[in-house]
Structure 1
Amino acid sequence: MNNKKKALAYIRVSRLGREKSKSENARFRDKESPQTQMEHIKRYCEQKGYEIINVFEDLDYSGGTDDRPDFQKMFHEIRTNKDVDAVIVYSLSRFARDVLDLNKYLVVLEEHKVDFVSCTEEFLRTDTMYGKFLINIIGAVAQLQREQIAENVRDNMRNKALRGQFLGGIPPFGYVLNEDNQKFVIKEEEAEVVKLIFDRYINGDGIIKIRNYLNKNAFLGRDDYSVGTLQSILKNVHYTGDYVYSKRKNISRTKKKKTDEEEWIIVENNHPPIISKQQYLSVQKLMKKRNRSNPENLDKRVSGNQFLSGILQCSSCGHKYYHGPKRNGSGNKFDYYVCGGYKTKGKPYCTNKRGLRIDWVDQLIHDSITEVLNKDTFLNMYKQTFSDMIKEIEAGLSESAEITKEIDRLKDEQSRYLKLIVRTDNDQLINQYEGEIQFRNEEIENLEGKLKDNSKNEKTKEMLIELKKLIEEMFFEGENFKEFVVLGINQVGPITRNFVRVVEIQDEEEFNRTKLDITFAFRKEELKLLLNIKSAFKLYNRMKANKNELTENEAKGIQEIIDKALNEYNNCVYNVEFGPPVSYKL
């Protein structure tokens, strides 16, 4: 009988832990690398009798915020899995550096009777009175250190900005960076394109016309100049030779906010100009004037929450479709989905120039979902998917046996080289043998990764069996989801749209038509989503049987059930590992 406590391991590494390297595979410092943290956690668990049931990793995330994907997934598991006994980390700083976050999540752990343990700081654990006290003290010290470091970084960056030195990122198009003084140097061929863009805009060409001209003539071998690129060039004050810093500040990991002009750092005549200050000011005045003169531009800034937002995808360039209002010859405005690639970059980058009327295509997709929400369709999809997956599982098991043999062979070779190292004093031979061992070690790691992927096959098979049970449970006697979804997009659209994985759009201009290829997603989470709205369905059926309109309270009740089901769905959907797809062409 297994009496070990169940533990979740959590690993975090911040950007500050990386060595200076331009490589995407830059390694973290040994003392805080993911591998080092995991080794300490495993060793601790073996000594103290814990069983690790799941590992969560946030690589390149700061401990100063709780906005970390795996950190949030871990706490979702803590809230839903009653078997979890402890969260084990390498050190307290890996868990949180902000005192408020630390206390907030320690309260959650306490509510669910889950211990917090730092494996390199044995005294920092929540199952003792002194441990709880010390965690808060050390957490406060860690936060102070973080704030001091952040203040030093800000001061250093401000001092560099005052000297006109570029503070990172990609230099503006038309410049390269002088590595010695960290200032911009003109890149002639790109600078000529910048001058052309400013000249044509001042002489009356619009941004789209300039974009089409650049792409058609493939300036610098490119045909993907976009509206956004040209706008950023036309608004960039650095082309005048002035350096401006602190126009925006970070308010979160992904969001920035404009700062007041008095907060900007401006260093005039800092680097060689590409255009004159007069040209720049003329362009800013023209952009403001042209923006005001076109009221339709205001509509384009309002994207709304369309039924198929983020689902429609262009078959030509791979971009998503988004909301783009248009007016017909009579001046009537219609809401369209338009390809983001064509809208920003035009031809030849993308050939799908036709927009899709939102009111038409939303209803079309909604109706297609209604058509497949029946037991026969679901079961046919299941049988097809089950057959395909069984073949993959068998192939994976066969491959796993071969991989295991190969791993054993490589380990035997490593052992032989180790023996050769012991027997020789020749440094050159020792280096050669160590290289051979390292090479085989990398091969073993790659093969073990494949082996781990194949080991998921059995879990997938279990999930398929569970899927069949859910399908049979979902279509309970006397209740038909096809009838329920006739409530319409506004009421049940947020539910049904989750059954569409992607809709691929292909503009067949020669036939004056657009082809839609719909791939539906029927995972266990989507099936559970339908099960969770049973009570809403029964409420709807009762209303229909009485031949009455929905009362305000009934409509509100249905909406509350749908909102609650969607909230549960959104919290667990990241755990999805498998979803049988099926495509329909309309």
Structure 2
Amino acid sequence: MRYNLACNNGLGVPSNGGEEVKVATYVRVSTVFEEQDSSIINQEEGLQDYYRKKGWVLYETYGERGSSFKKREAYDRLIRDGKTKRFQIILVKSLSRFGRNIGKLNTDITNLVEIGIRFVALSEGIDSNNNDWQGKLAMYSMVYHMQSQTTSEFIRIAERARAKRGEFTGSYTPYGYQRVNKKLNLASDDTPSIVQKIFNLYQEGILGMQAIANLLNDKMVPTPAQKHGRKRGNTLWGQSTIEYILTNPVYVGDLVAQREQAAALGSSKRKKKNKEEQVIMENNHPPLISREQFQVVQDLIQRRSHNKVSGLPNLFTHLMFCADCGSGMHCVKRPYGKTHYMCGKYKLRGKGFCSRHSIYEHELVELILTDIKQLKGGHVESDYLRRELQKEAESKKRTSSSEITFLKKEVEKLENRKQNAEDKWLDGDITKDQYHEILERLSETLLTAKQKLSNIQKENENKKLTLPDITKLTSFEKLDRELLLMLVKKIEVKESGNVNITYNFKV
């Protein structure tokens, strides 16, 4: 807590006597860059001059860097302290520094004024002690919102015009290309041949996308992020990067810009534009892949996606893990041979990260059924087993609900961070390149969280909430997904093939 000693006797009491009036000031810059420090200082000095002339006592200066309401700790603390009446006045230099979210501004300020907190914004002449404060608040918050909207539209129009001139408007040039005089040209390094190799390998049909990524990782081929010098970019090739290259029409010489845009100003959701609204410039730059090969690859991707297993869980999904690295075991189903599981990290990243830990599904099923039958033949009664399974089923339901709640919050948090980045870009606080670097990093994490949430929700939809009938519990002749989820809590597979099974009941 800080007090303005220039206008009081050092004890928090105004030097001219009378009732103490505490004021909270709020200062903000919407960037994290050091050069903006002077803006914070200028705001503070301007506010100091004002409250000193009024004879008010400074309660605290709430200051921070950030362009969005989504992650403002100092702002949130200011509002909380105001609601508990720790001060009488909130003083800001400008409403635009306080925020540009129309709904939140009007709600928070109005709620505080209603409980007796005075709000003053110097630049706009807003003072809640005056009758016209609500009109001014509504008008200026709308003006600042419209400024952001206009800036966004100007940026979009300018980029569209540049794209129609054949200029590349993206933040990072596609892998295999370099920007020369604002247009794409073949890179002078080995990346063009790497792109061609990726297309050739996939067209041969022997390797899938992740297998191609593993091959590039084994040969220590630099990733697109590494080529661009992005400090927080991926250092390993992955399936999503390979897919992005294989489906990008830039490699046949076409420039495609403005494929999507924000659903609305301030929204973190993106919507795809109709093809008529996109900027498509055919034969705009030197191609790396022939149109014929590109089309063959697209047909292959389409066919392979149709042959994938449906989104329903496999028998041991979310139950079986590698005992060494902790990653989930991946199910491998072939038109030939038996269904088996292997370490997910090994399958995705290769032998440099883990080993196969392979186990056949039918062997594991037989092992579990044998365990249960032996328990039944021993000292475990069916009624006891049913009661134990019922307890565990209810516990799992609660755990699943908590997991869904956590993942929803995680998705919302990541969406908010994407919106923060967009706000900073629109305010001119970060460059477009910095914006897209943040966007790329967040999008991958967001996709993983959404997929995990979808898997859990899908499993809950397909899972019956009631126990199987007593016949199934007492016979144990067949192990299906429903029974397995009630019997087994976790399975860990060792490199030797031995397994450690943790059941949902104690014996």
TM-score band, normalised by shorter chain: 0.5 to 0.7
Aligned to 2:365: none
Offset at residue 291 of structure 1 (A): 0.3
In structure 1, the residue matched to 2:166 is: 164
**Where does 1:78-117 land on structure 2 (aligned, <5 Å)?**
78=81, 81-117=84-120
Q: Does 1:269 align with 2:283?
A: yes
Q: Which residue of 2 aligns with 1:245?
A: 257
| 1:235-292 CA distance string (max 9 Å, x none) | 1111111110111212356542322222211011112211112221211111111000
- Show the counterpart of 1:545: none
Which among 122, 125, 129 is matched to residue 123 of structure 1?
Answer: 125
Q: What are the residue-to-residue correspondences of 1:120-519 with 2, within 5 Å?
A: 120-121=122-123, 123-178=125-180, 180-204=181-205, 205-220=207-222, 224-251=236-263, 252=266, 254-296=268-310, 298-299=311-312, 344-348=348-352, 350-351=353-354, 488-491=395-398, 509=495
Q: 1:106 to 1:208 in 2, by over 3 A?
A: same
Q: Is the 8 A contact 1:171 1:177 kept in 2?
A: yes
For residue 395 of structure 2, what is the amino acid of its counterpart?
Answer: G
8 A Cα contact 1:125 1:132, kept in partner: no
The TM-score, its normalising length taken from structure 2, stands at: 0.57
Residue correspondences, number: 355
Counterpart residue number, 1:411: none
Could you say what secondary structure the match of 1:10 adopts? strand
1:53 aligns with 2:60: yes
Checking the alignment, whether the CA contact within 8 Å between 1:86 and 1:117 is kept in structure 2 is: yes
SS at match of 2:36: coil
Displacement of 1:147 in angstroms is 3.0
- The answer on whether the counterparts of 2:357 and 2:494 sit within 8 Å (CA) in structure 1 is no
In 2, the alpha carbon distance for the partners of 1:226 and 1:145 equals 40
- In 2, the alpha carbon distance for the partners of 1:125 and 1:315 equals 64
In structure 2, the CA distance between the partners of 1:73 and 1:176, relative to structure 1 (3 Å rule), is farther
- Which string of whole-angstrom CA distances, capped at 9 and with x for unpartnered residues, describes residues 450-492 of structure 1? xxxxxxxxxxxxxxxxxxxxxxxxxxxxxxxxxx999624336
Q: 1:40 aligns with which of 17, 40, 46?
A: 46
Q: Kindly provide the amino acid, as one letter, of the partner of residue 281 in structure 1.
A: Q
Describe how 1:522-537 pairs up with structure 2 within 5 A: none
- Of 27, 31, 36 in structure 2, the residue corresponding to residue 28 of structure 1 is 36
Structure 2 SS opposite 1:249: strand
Residue deviations 1:101-151, cap 9 Å, x none? 432333333344333222x42721223223333333333333333333333
Aligned residue for 1:261, secondary structure, equals coil
1:6–1:51 Cα contact (<8 Å) kept:
yes
Secondary structure in structure 1 of the residue aligned to 2:80: helix
Displacement after TM superposition at 1:206 (Å): 1.1
Match of 1:28, SS state, is helix
Counterpart in the other structure of 1:70: 73
Change in Cα spacing, 1:281 to 1:150, as seen in structure 2 (3 Å) is: same
Equivalence for 1:365:
none
- What RMSD in Å do the two structures reach over aligned CA positions? 4.8
User: 2:77 & 2:153 partners in 1: Cα distance?
Assistant: 31
Amino acid at match of 2:194: V
Counterpart-to-counterpart distance in 2, 1:126 and 1:203: 72
Contact residue 322 and residue 329 of structure 2 kept, 8 A: no
Q: Deviations over 1:501-541 (max 9, x none)?
A: xxxxx997479679xxxxxxxxxxxxxxxxxxxxxxxxxxx
2:282 maps to a residue whose letter is: E
- Kept in 1, the 8 Å contact 2:59–2:87? The answer is no
Q: TM-score, normalised by structure 1?
A: 0.50
| Distance (whole Å) between structure 2 residues aligned to residue 344 and residue 203 of structure 1 | 20
Match of 2:70, SS state, is coil
* 1:368 corresponds to: none
* Per-residue deviation, residues 553-585 of structure 1 (Å, max 9, x unmatched): xxxxxxxxxxxxxxxxxxxxxxxxxxxxxxxxx
In the TM superposition, what is the alpha-carbon distance from 1:54 to its structure 2 partner?
A: 5.8
Change (3 A) 1:215 1:28: same
The residue number in structure 2 matching 1:538 is none
Q: CA deviation at 1:198?
A: 0.2
Determine if contact 1:208/1:227 at 8 Å carries over to the other structure.
yes
Instruction: Tell me the distance in 2 between the aligned counterparts of 1:355 and 1:43.
Output: 73
Indicate if the aligned counterparts of 1:41 and 1:90 stay in contact, CA closer than 8 A. yes
Q: Which has the higher contact order (CA 8 A, sep 6+)?
A: 2
The structure with the greater share of residues assigned to helix is 1
Kindly indicate whether the alpha-carbon contact (under 8 Å) linking 1:241 and 1:271 is maintained by their aligned counterparts in 2.
Answer: yes
Structure 1 residues 134 and 171: CA distance shift in structure 2, 3 A: same
Unaligned runs of 5+ in 2: 1-10, 14-19, 227-234, 360-390, 407-491, 501-507
CA distance in structure 1 between the aligned counterparts of 2:85 and 2:194, rounded to whole angstroms: 62
Q: Is the 8 A contact 2:186 2:192 kept in 1?
A: no
Mapped partners of 1:29, 1:276: distance in 2 = 53
Contact kept, 8 Å, 1:164 with 1:270, in 2: the verdict is yes
